[in-house]
């Protein structure tokens, strides 16, 4: 057979066939080139005791957007455990933040160095013990992700959602071993806007016959920004409930502003005066965790209650997704922002980038959060990002008609995206309460928060508070959050 076909091929055809084979070979090695099995990492002694893969998947027109990911295979049962994607929020926050501080397999040993970088240790509460986790740097210029053209840089809520959905379908295509695992779209904070859009897009793509069919089963969001106006407005009621403002001021503000503070009419003097009074009382509160010391955004020093500075920073109308900037020094007192600096140090080390197989010359500097994308309430866009979805509630509504599971959890000490607003939009879905209604749930025999379960046909949603946790709940309550998701992934009551 072979010799016969050889006979009928002219030399020119042979050359073409050879070229074709070369082309095919190079494209398949390209796929291999964009995935790296990482066996060791600077800062950690010896081989990693879990399976880490890093790589890029191109999305968008001409695959000009090269999204970088870290994939950790489940340390439990990788063939059966869910496949989840985790989105860090911002938009524009590098997923290493989740990897080191929230749900990842490693933590930083503060103040200890190895291989000239902050030393790493294992995290006993890593979600990778029960799930295959993709930590994605998205959208566009987040973390180590980059674009092949300047035009491809600019993203938006809708574009980032569709590119992440595209990423997921391509991911399982190149990792067919995980095609059958139940897939969940998960994340925190600003990703609340895109999570339901991505999830709905995956269901829709399956309906339309996109290949490969993905086994999408649902989604999860932690203190997820969802209805931008409603979530910000709910800060007032939250401040009242946790005794930061008086009942009288709460009632007066509510009445004078007609329940609208985020978009309050600046000609309404009574309302403006009330908001000023509210801001005087919450201005020195750490919005991400009301019990943490307030740290000045510019210096990360613990702030005293200096009345002169009151009111020139945070307000009910202030930026709702505030990330602490990176600085390279530690001062007395506890500022969470100082801890994030270690990730920045680690991620900008040349040997780290080499170990992760970050493509040379693609990223000048790794940033904890890309400030050109960061959400700013009231602004329609930032240089690299357009905030074109005001509320993603309608996508939750669409998903409530699907065969779909959802888990929404709220650190109850977060004033940035308070549980009050989250409960409001969940209520607006008109679901039926099923087996629990603000019942306690437990971790290590202790009350870890409260849960309510809802259903509508084949859709189920569990809402849970995480008692004592701030905005990024797993960072504050790792044991409790790990217990919660372990049960939820296993289809058990949390």
- Work out how close the CB of 173 gets to ligand NAG at its nearest, in angstroms, rounded to a whole number: 25
Question: Of residues 430, 437, 446, 491, which one binds ligand NAG by CB under 6 A?
Answer: 430
CB neighbour class for 51 (10 Å; exposed up to 12, middle 13-18, buried from 19): middle
DSSP string over 212-277: SPP-EEEEEEES---BHHHHHHHHHHHHHHTTSS-HHHHHHHHHHTTT--TT--TT-HHHHHHHHH
Q: From the CB of 180, what's the least distance to ligand NAG, in Å?
A: 17
* Angstrom distance (rounded) from CA 19 to CA 37: 30
- Of 213, 297, 330, 429, the residue at the interface with ligand NAG (CB under 6 A) is 429
Q: Toward ligand NAG, which CB reaches closer, 213 or 429?
A: 429
Shortest Cβ distance from residue 393 to ligand NAG (Å)?
8
**Nearer of residues 20 and 394 to ligand NAG, judged by Cβ:** 394
Distance of alpha carbon 288 from alpha carbon 475, whole angstroms: 11
Contact present, 104 and 472 (Cβ < 8 Å): no
Contact residue for ligand NAG among 403, 437, 446, 491 (CB under 6 A): 403
Q: Which residue has the tokens 């990792």?
A: 175
Name which of 207 and 457 has its Cβ closer to ligand NAG. Answer: 457
Count of residues engaged in binding ligand NAG, rule: CB under 6 A:
6
CA-angle at 271, arms to 265 and 275, nearest 5°:
105
Q: What is the footprint of ligand NAG within residues 256-275 (CB under 6 A)? A: none
Q: Which of 397, 423, 479, 487 binds ligand NAG (CB under 6 A)?
A: 397
Tokens of 411: 């650190």
Q: Nearest distance from residue 206's CB to ligand NAG, in Å?
A: 13
Which 3 state secondary structure label does DSSP give 381? strand
Name residues whose C-beta falls within 8 Å of residue 191's C-beta, 6 or more positions apart in sequence: 87, 88, 89, 91, 221, 224
Cα–Cα distances (Å) from 380 to 9, 91, 389, in that order, read 61, 13, 10
Q: In whole angstroms, how close is the CB of 425 to ligand NAG at the nearest point?
A: 10
Instruction: Kindly identify the residues of this chain, within the stretch 77-136, that bind ligand NAG according to CB under 6 A.
Output: none
Q: Which of residues 455-494 bind ligand NAG (CB under 6 A)?
A: 457-458
Tracing tokens 């999570």 back to the chain, one arrives at 195
Nearest distance, CB of residue 453 and ligand NAG, angstroms: 18
Q: In the complex with ligand NAG, which residue's Cβ is closer, 381 or 430?
A: 430
285 vs 393 by CB, closer to ligand NAG: 393
Indicate the residue among 446 and 458 with the shorter CB distance to ligand NAG: 458
Q: Report strand pairing: 132-137 vs 83-87.
A: parallel
Q: Which two tokens stand for residue 277?
A: 């009074």
Q: How many CA atoms lie within 13 A of 6 on its CB side?
A: 3
Cβ count within 10 A of residue 180: 13
Closest to ligand NAG by CB, 174 or 403: 403
Q: Does 213 bind ligand NAG (CB under 6 A)?
A: no
DSSP state of 302: B
Residues 266-325 interacting with ligand NAG (rule: CB under 6 A): none
Instruction: Print the binding letters for residues 441-460 with ligand NAG: x by CB under 6 A, - otherwise.
Output: ----------------xx--
Q: Are 160 and 79 in contact (CB under 8 A)?
A: no
Give catalytic residue positions.
189, 414, 471
Q: List interacting residues with ligand NAG (CB under 6 A).
A: 397, 403, 429-430, 457-458
């Amino acid at each position: 057979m072979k010799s016969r076909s050889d006979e009928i091929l002219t030399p020119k055809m042979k050359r073409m066939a050879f070229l074709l084979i070369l082309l095919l070979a190079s494209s398949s090695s390209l796929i291999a080139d964009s995935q790296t099995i990482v066996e060791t990492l600077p800062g950690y002694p010896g081989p990693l005791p879990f399976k880490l893969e890093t790589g890029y998947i191109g999305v968008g027109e001409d695959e000009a957007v090269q999204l970088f990911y870290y994939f950790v295979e489940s340390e439990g049962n990788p063939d059966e455990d869910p496949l989840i994607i985790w989105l860090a929020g911002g938009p524009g926050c590098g997923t290493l933040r989740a990897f080191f501080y929230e749900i990842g397999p490693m933590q930083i040993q503060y103040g200890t160095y190895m291989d000239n970088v902050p030393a790493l240790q294992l995290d006993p509460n890593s979600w990778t013990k029960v799930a295959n986790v993709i930590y994605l740097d998205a959208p566009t210029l987040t973390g180590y992700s980059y674009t092949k053209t300047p035009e491809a840089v600019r993203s938006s809520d809708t574009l980032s959602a569709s590119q992440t959905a595209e990423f997921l379908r391509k991911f399982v295509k190149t990792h067919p071993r995980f095609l059958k695992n139940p897939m969940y779209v998960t994340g925190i904070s600003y990703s609340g806007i895109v999570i339901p859009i991505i999830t709905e897009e995956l269901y829709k793509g399956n309906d339309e016959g996109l290949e490969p069919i993905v086994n999408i089963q649902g989604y999860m969001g932690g203190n997820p920004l969802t209805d931008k106006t409603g979530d910000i407005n709910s800060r007032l009621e939250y401040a009242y409930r946790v005794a930061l403002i008086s009942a009288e001021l709460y009632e007066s503000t509510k009445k004078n502003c007609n329940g609208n503070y985020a978009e309050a009419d600046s000609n309404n003097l009574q309302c403006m005066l009330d908001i000023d009074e509210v801001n005087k009382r919450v201005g020195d509160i750490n919005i991400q965790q009301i019990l943490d010391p307030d740290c000045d955004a510019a210096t990360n020093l613990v702030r005293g209650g200096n009345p002169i500075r009151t009111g020139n920073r945070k307000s009910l109308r202030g930026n709702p997704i505030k990330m602490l900037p990176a600085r390279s020094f530690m001062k007395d007192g506890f500022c969470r922002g100082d801890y994030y600096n270690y990730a920045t140090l680690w991620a900008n080390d040349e040997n780290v980038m080499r170990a992760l197989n970050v493509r040379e010359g693609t990223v000048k500097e790794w940033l904890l959060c890309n400030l050109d994308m960061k959400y700013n309430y009231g602004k329609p866009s930032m240089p690299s990002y357009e905030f074109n979805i005001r509320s993603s509630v309608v996508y939750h509504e669409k998903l409530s008609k699907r065969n779909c599971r959802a888990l929404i959890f709220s650190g109850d000490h977060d004033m940035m995206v308070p549980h009050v607003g989250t409960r409001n939009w969940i209520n607006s879905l008109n679901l039926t309460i099923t087996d629990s209604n603000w019942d306690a749930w437990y971790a290590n025999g202790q009350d870890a928060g409260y849960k309510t379960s809802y259903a509508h046909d084949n859709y189920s949603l569990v809402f849970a508070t995480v008692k004592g946790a701030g905005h990024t709940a797993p960072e504050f309550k790792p044991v409790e959050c790990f217990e919660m998701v372990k049960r939820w992934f296993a289809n058990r009551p949390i």
